[in-house]
Every structure is written in C-alpha cells, then in structure tokens.
Amino acid sequence: MKTINLICIIDDDPIFIFTAKKVLRLSDFGGDFLVFNNGEDAFNHLKPLYIDDTEVPDLIFLDLNMPIMDGWQFLDEFIKLKLSKVVTLYIVSSSIDPVDIEKAKEYEKISGFIIKPIDKASLRKITKKFILKK
Amino acid sequence: MKDFYKKLLSIDDGLNTPDDTTTFLNAIQESITIGAWEVDLETMRIYWSPMTKQIHEVDPDYVPKFDATRDFYTSFKDRDLLDDLFKTAVSTGKKYDIEYQLTTAKNNCKWVRSIGYPVFKEGICIKVMGIFQDITAKANIFHETIQKEKEIRTILTHSPNGMAVVGLHGGFLSVNKSLCDFLGYSEKELLSIECKTITHPKDYDKTETQISKLLDGRFSNFQLEKRYIHKSGKKIHGLLSTSLLRDENNVPLYFIKSVINIGPMRKANKTVEKLLKTTEDQNLRLLNFAHIVSHNLRSHTGNLSMLLELLQEDIPSATNNEYFPLIQQAVKNLADTVGNLNEISIVNSKKDTGLESLNLLDFTNKAINSSIAKIIETNTEINLNINSSIIVLALPAYLDSILLNIITNAIKYRRENIAPKITISASMEGKYIKLDISDNGLGINLDLHRHKMFGLYKTFHKHKDSRGLGLFITKNQIDAIGGKIDVISEVNKGSTFTVYFKYENN
C-alpha cells in the first residue's frame, strides 16, 4: 500500500487552493502541498525534480484556465520530458465544455477530469484509488 | 400563240416544228408551274395553257369563257384591280404584273402571279397575252415569315428584359423599350452610340474576351454579369446574355443581346448577406457569452458552495444563526441557475452534428419505462401507436430528453381526480416524422401563453417542480436536430404536443 506524501496544486484561484487544501486535510491527508499559480512556475519547478526523480509529487491537480501558461500548455511541455515514471495527474476545472473533456481524453498522462467544485467524496475516491494502486 | 412564246422566251431558233415548240414549252411550264393565257379581243376567245388550267384545277378540256374566269378571284378587290389593269393595258398598252389570291375550281386557295402583255396591231389592241404562275408556296413562306417577324417583334418590344440587335462593330441596330429604360437613353440616342459607351470601363475587357470567343465559334452564346453606365453616369448592374446570329454560310451577321436588370436583386442579396453576418456575429457573441457563463460563473459559484460546505464542517458555530441557511439557499439557487444556463449553452453549441438514425418506438418505450414509477403511482393509461419501423434522425441523448420531458409533463400537469390518459402516435408527414403526444390534463391557455410557450423560466401552472426550463430545453434540442415542435391545448381538456423529426433520405 502506498501513502500520499506530497500533493501538487496548480491553480491561479486562491479560494480553490484554500478549499482544496481544507477538504484534503479534512479527509485526513497529512502530507505536504506544493502550490503554483500558473503553468510556467509549476513547470520550471517540477522539471528538475522529475529529471532527478527526487521529491516528485504523488498527485497533481491541474487547472486549465490560468495566466501565462495554461493547463494545456503545461501538459504539452510536460509530455516533452518523456518521463518513464507514471504520473498521477488530474485536471480540475470549472469547464463543463465537452470540447475540453474530449481534449483531455487525448492525453494519456491524464488520470481524470474533475469538474469544480470538488467535494470530499470525489477527493476521497481519488486518494483511495492512488493508495490501492500498485 | 407560238409567236408569243418565242418572243417571250427568246427561243426563235433550235426547234423545227411549231408542234415541237408547243410540247417543249408545255413541258417547261409544268416543271416551273408557269402557265400561259391569251385573250383574243377580236374573237373574244380565251386560251389557257394546260398548266394554267392545272393551276385553276379545272379539267384539261375546260373552255374558259370570257366572264367566267373572274369567278376564280378570291376577293372583289382583286377582281376590280385586275379589271382595271386589264382595261388600262388594252387602252394604253401598259403591261401589268400582279399577285393575288385565287380560289380554284376545287375551292382551294392559291396565291398566283399574273402578267399581262397587250398586243397592238395598227394602233388597236387585238389581244392580251400573259403568263400565270402558282406562287402559293413562296407566298405562304412570305406570309409566315411576316407573322414570325411580328411575333418576335412583339416579344422584343414587350420583354421586361432589355434587348438589342447589335452589329459586329458594336453599334446598336435595334433596341427595345426595356433597354432604353434600363440605360436611361431614348431609342434614337442608343441607335447612335456603341455598346462600348454604355459598358463600365472595368468590364470592357472581359466583355470583349467573351465576344471574340463567340466570333471564334467556341460557343453559340454566353452569359456575363457586368456593370453598365447609365446615361446619368451612374453605375448599374446587368446580367448580359449574348448570342451570335450567323448566315447560312456561317458568316457572323449580328449579335442578339438581352440584359436583365439585376440591381434590385443584388441589393436584396446584400441586405440578406448583411443580416446573415449580423446573425453570425450575434451567435458567436452568444456562444462566447455561454462560454463565460460556463467557465467564470461556474468557478465562482463552485467556490461559494465549497466555502459554505467547509465552514459548516470546520466552524459549526459560525453557521448557527438565521443568516447562514439563507446564504446557503441563495448560493444553491445561484448554482442551479448557472447549471441551467450551461445546459442550454451546450445544446446551442451542438447543432446538427452527428445525427443518428434512431428507432422512435424503442426510444419512446425507454422514456415510458424511465417514468414507470410515476405512471403506476398516478394510474396513468398510456396508448402507444408507433410503427416499429419508424426511424428518426436525432442525437440519442436529445431524443431521450425530449420524449421524457413531454411524457413526464403530461403526467405532472394532470387534472385532479381524473385518471391521466396519454396517447402517443407517429406518422409520416412530408419531410418529417410527426409524433403526437396527447394528454387529458390541465391544458394551457394558448391565447395568453402561446408566445412564451417555449420560453426560458416560463411556467403556466402552480406546480412545485415547475422550473420553466423543460420545454425551453426541449425546444432547443428539437431545433438542434433540425426538427419542429407545436402545441394545441385547451384548459381543462388537455394538450397535444407535436414533434416533427427529420428522417433519413432528406
């Protein structure tokens, strides 16, 4: 059984970050958070971590609409790293546009698409799925 | 007699006997349908050659009497005229040559040409000789041609299209009134100018190119949309059609041109195009607006709901007041509204794409099964009359939603104490499959509500579940799959919703 030690949240909305952290804490998550407010900051920080394979986050929650580098652009850059390690990444967006949901299916790196607002039940499902994964 | 023939036909030499000459001349007469005649004024005898008799359709042994011949004239006018000419010939020696209509012994009408030569002896006219020719065929063609010419002239004159005959060098040979009106010139003015004058300089070359191809024989006519210059200097638009008329040796004679004034049509088209552009712009703006609703409003309401949920769990004491439940309700309402708007915007952005052929009966049964609990609870009777072979074009999710909404409405708006009865039937009507869903429920006062029947947030009954969204979405979904919906209803009798679906093959 795996444990979740580090969760990365990439979102420009402070309220979402606040509520996400709260919900995770209330769901008994005791690890650390790594937070970025846009895709570029996240990519620049995460790239060396993934290359060295040290202290990589166990879970990434990625927003789509962000300034500077949005979620899709982040994904495109992230794929270019050609990582062999399995990354658990969820898109968390308020978009219910079918175009976005269809587009997400084209990225095999994406583990799922969560429509905001997130609630405890769906977060628990995700963390549980991760823990049970071999 | 023979002297006359000889003189007339200059055949004094070559034939030996008078009999030979007669035979020969008669043979000629037959082959060219010319007969001869002679009136001997001394003996008052009349001679007709066989051909002359033949033209009159009398027996070969017919002996014309002096007066009786006049019976063959068709009109009194012709008879009087011929009488006059004959008398003048006799008295003055002036020969005559006249064409007139003849009625033969067999009552056929013929056109003939008669030439008379008076012969004088010692100053007195002794006889009149002449030839007689059947010109019916020629005259008929001539008269037909006149008739045709008249027809064509009438068409030309009264045509709403501008028409002109134009010479090979571009000068107008004849023009009709419509063309004069179109270009603002009088007929006289047009006949004195060339096509080039009224052609817009920028369209001159392209007209010339077509004209030279026409002259080369590459085609027999062409159509060209071009600009003209009105007499006032104004630019006008016409659709020109030009043909080239050639003679029997294929030598070009002149052009026949016809011009349709397409100014009003172009103007109407421009208006339509402008309207279309405006509509497209507005649609795009609406789609953008829907996108904003989908993204921004949703994230804000999402945050609000989350914050309230967390507050309740994290700091329960902060929620223990009369404000909190109201705020919570307001946020829930806001989230619902945003949700509704999203549903609508998704329907609108998914028009006419990916329609599938679906079995109407299967989908109707599915919708009935989905509402089976309500049907049993309310004791609703359902009469289903849809042929299992009916296939409609729709999106599966929309067809589900349309059927379910109309059927549940029929149950929802039932009359108290009256067992609901729903009749569902389908038939083909023109390019649509027509589906009727009738109930015996509350009905709607269409005089009051028809205009807002399918409007957003419009409700017609005080029902706790009325959101004013169902029929709005149903209408939008039907629009999106290229169908139509209509309703007839009477208060306290019931309603019939009719949905028209497209089907395959159109």
Domain range for A31? 6-132
Residue A1 lies in a domain: no
Please report, for the domain that includes residue B7, its CATH number.
Answer: 3.30.450.20
Residue A115 has pLDDT above 70, yes or no: yes
Q: Judged by CB atoms within 8 Å, which residues 268-297 of B form the interface with A?
A: 291, 294-296
* Residue bearing the bigger pLDDT, B301 or A99: B301
Q: Please give the C-alpha separations between residue B505 and each of B280, B357, B391, B394, in angstroms, as whole numbers.
A: 28, 11, 11, 14
Angle made by CA atoms A63, A68, A74, in degrees to the nearest 5 = 50
Three-state DSSP class for B181? helix
> What value does the mean pLDDT take over residues A53-77?
86
Please tell me whether residues B31 and B131 are part of one structural domain. Answer: yes
Question: Across the interface, do A26 and B314 touch by the CB < 8 Å criterion?
Answer: yes
- Domain boundary among the residues B140, B168, B197 is at B140
Check if the beta carbon of residue B72 is closer than 8 Å to that of residue B79. no
- Domain boundary among the residues B241, B261, B281 is at B261
Residue B169 lies in a domain: yes
Please tell me whether residues B125 and B207 are part of one structural domain. Answer: no
- Domain boundary among the residues B348, B369, B402 is at B348
Residue A69 lies in a domain: yes
Please tell me whether residues B406 and B477 are part of one structural domain. Answer: yes
Domain range for B407? 356-502
Q: What are phi and psi of B337, to 5 degrees?
A: -60, -45
Three-state DSSP class for A12? coil
Distance of residue A104 Cα from the nearest chain B Cα, in angstroms: 16
Residue B151 lies in a domain: no
**Cβ of A17 under 8 Å from any chain B Cβ?**
no
Residue spans of beta strands (DSSP E) within A4-69: 6-10, 32-36, 59-62
Check if the beta carbon of residue B284 is closer than 8 Å to that of residue B291. no
Using CB atoms, pick whichever of A13, A19, A116 lies closest to residue B310: A19
Please tell me whether residues B472 and B412 are part of one structural domain. Answer: yes
Q: Please give the C-alpha separations between residue B26 and each of B49, B72, B99, B109, B115, in angstroms, as whole numbers.
A: 8, 23, 22, 24, 17
Please tell me whether residues B287 and B339 are part of one structural domain. Answer: yes
Please tell me whether residues B9 and B129 are part of one structural domain. Answer: yes
| Percent with pLDDT over 70 in chain A | 97
Q: Which two tokens stand for residue B85?
A: 């000419």
pLDDT tens by residue, B6-63: 444 444 444 445 577 777 777 776 667 788 888 888 888 888 888 888 888 888 888 8
Choose, out of B309, B345, B346, the residue to mutate when testing the contact with A (most A CBs < 10 Å): B309
Please tell me whether residues B163 and B122 are part of one structural domain. Answer: no
The segments of chain B whose pLDDT lies below 70 read 1-18, 29-31, 66-70, 290-291, 293-295, 345-353, 505-506
**CA B8 – CA B413 distance, rounded (Å):** 111
A13 neighbourhood in chain B, CB within 8 Å:
299, 303
Please report, for the domain that includes residue A78, its CATH number.
Answer: 3.40.50.2300
Please tell me whether residues B221 and B174 are part of one structural domain. Answer: yes
B295 neighbourhood in chain A, CB within 8 Å:
65, 94-95, 97
Number of folded domains in chain B? 4
**CA B251 – CA B254 distance, rounded (Å):** 10
Question: Across the interface, do B314 and A22 touch by the CB < 8 Å criterion?
Answer: yes
Number of folded domains in chain A? 1
B346 neighbourhood in chain A, CB within 8 Å:
96-98
Please tell me whether residues B360 and B497 are part of one structural domain. Answer: yes
Residues contacting B190, CB < 8 A, separation 6+ = B164, B172, B175, B179, B180, B183
Instruction: Name the residue with tokens 């580090």.
Output: A6
Secondary structure of B224-255 as H, E, C letters: EEEEEECCCCCEEEEEEEEEEEECCCCCEEEE
Residue A119 lies in a domain: yes
Structure letter (DSSP) for residue B297: I
Check if the beta carbon of residue B347 is closer than 8 Å to that of residue B477. yes
Please tell me whether residues B334 and B242 are part of one structural domain. Answer: no
Distance of residue A97 Cα from the nearest chain B Cα, in angstroms: 7
B342 neighbourhood in chain A, CB within 8 Å:
96
